Structure 1
């Protein structure tokens, strides 16, 4: 790095330090050298340039005025070239530099300014080569870390070999991917910054102070994460900023890789549900898929269905919290997020009674992470092996959804706790349910299509209103007599009388079976 101190340390230049300036001034990086004899060179000097002069301006302006001009230009220091006419540095110039705390050095008559320029060029070249070498070395180390599966933490470990910085990597979903451990409030501030348009270069983190933000792009070019250096930008040296920018680019590769893996895992896990619900027809595929997730398909298996949140929309990070819960306990599990619920399939070598206490522990863990959201968990029966997963899955889902509708608090439930017709329907093959629904509802749909009527909608509304004629007529915006005519036509086409309990049950179950299949 080019500094005045480095030039002074080069004995071939024969530089003598006369005024050291403030602490650290000699070690500050110099942009370049500027040779001038102008009385006021301030319009032409760039900030942090080192000025070289023979003092020809001395007959025109005072040393104090010349030094003031250098201060206005934010010069980093002054080198005075001695000549036969001025074999010593003028005293008033030394005094002016001392008063202004501007570093001052003198160069002997035998050394021309070109020698100083050549030395400065050599130093800058060496510094650039060194920086490039570090960049390449660190790039190789970062690529190696990613290829070995070091993840975001591996990238930070490589960065810290050169720079001792407090670092944090957070994605837009509020997950801490690596780095310093922070609390939820600090994570929230980081996530808020990433979701701004445009994101800030700095932000105030509670309890920490100003942090620099380096954006991490995902596969689609969106800002998917951030590398946060818990120091302000002004406190970072250029080499540190370059290293952070390089690390952010490699984090983009890591985030993209993780997104691809998550997409594959999500597809694989979603397909697992379809396989399980297909019954024995895809039993072999279920076993292979479970084995791919590290679960023994020949051992006993348990199923949870989890709903977190107050509006059946999962809060950000809830699926990760469920995965972490099982991972920390060493339980091999596949966590399958759906549109409203999350299904967990895991190996279980204890009795089925112990599944409820485990679910209660999970509720407490989620309550700690999401205190404002309620959690409902449906527990399925213990399956002997992968071939018996279908019924426990259906029961766990139905138990969970029934409890969600009936309760406003967090709770755990089993099939024995909750009874509903939907569970009985769910245990039947979907093709059977489809035929049952079509046999009863088919004639209504054909009539509606051919005549432009609304018999199926009328039936749904009538049963939904518990058979109340006036209430149903009002909901359909028709006269009660019109409703009675429609119901009579429904009775005729379906062969069921909606006024009889047995027939009404058939019609209701047909509608429910239609929804399930």
Structure 2
């Protein structure tokens, strides 16, 4: 039931005092009656709020009341006139400021007459929607059973509701692409909303464009490895029938997700065997055959990727790396003897950049202690693939020192000093770092100072006092004091190249 239809109900005699933009085409939510001055904490945001204005003691109270209901998403207030007469001008002004529609109920019409009418119409619509939903589900299931792919089914629902539908993963990979390609900014916003929203569906906004984000399946699984529906438009302004249609589509897509997951699980043992053959220097023809069976063309130019997913569960980590790899093309993904995830990928334009963007989209969904370190080799052929794996392992060791939740390092990113440090055992690098900077680290821990962070920026700014102060939003004298304190604690003079190199390598090893 739309608000315009409620206002057109002649026997209720409702009077529209102010209509917010788009309000008349918005579906009416459940009716709630309140005379609390600040009822926002008790509302979900889609209600039709009825009030007799008993809360109003002064004109300022209107701003408080309307601000409270608008703050939780309520878009329509229905004011009674039986007790205090027509809605005062200050209430009308507050509704205009907050873009909340204001409707008046005549003195001779009881609230219960309006709420009963809303309830009965909504109940009838709910029954109709249930019947229509069952028919739609049967039709979509029949379409899938007859061999229609998920792309066709998404297109069918998109035409029905008038909104483009896309199926994405949290890395931004398009399982079902829409008629136009999404920008990187839009992908970042949609995946971020999916991973961080308290409740789904939610809305991601990019400029003036809104995307409704729906979970695929029950939504009880790990969002990092889930699928999502990104539908053009804001679902909060849609008729219930359109929201129901997207829900039905999500259920069908979940079946396709299950089917694809089963295929990936079946290929994993073959992929593991192919990796073993590559690393054991097996005859090239044997390794090529196994790679082909795992779905990868062994004659194409390949890139090795090594990922360390830290404390993430093994199944989750594998699914994430497989998802990123599938965004590149047909790939082989397996776990090596050290528990690292290995992917053999077909080379392509800006492979490192695309891989970095995909992994970094996962960062909002990681736990506080979760880390993803990823290293990629340069392009090679099958004959040199074992060397490419060694190169990617060097890169992943450099990525571990990145100090961010997600770090992706390509072979071109591994500078000479990082490559040198990557060859040094972890315990040696750590001991060296603490020997040079241990006193500074202890001082930060004991006194709550930011000496390590200041040092990192200072060296990154080529030891420029002014640039460091600007970067940290500090006075230059504060920077000078902190650097002098670091020199005192370390016994190093940062104006000397040798001491500066010592501190730089220790800071890099510290991570």
TM-score range relative to shorter protein:
0.3 to 0.5
Of structures 1 and 2, the larger Rg is shown by 1
Q: TM-score, normalised by structure 1?
A: 0.44
Q: TM-score, normalised by structure 2?
A: 0.45
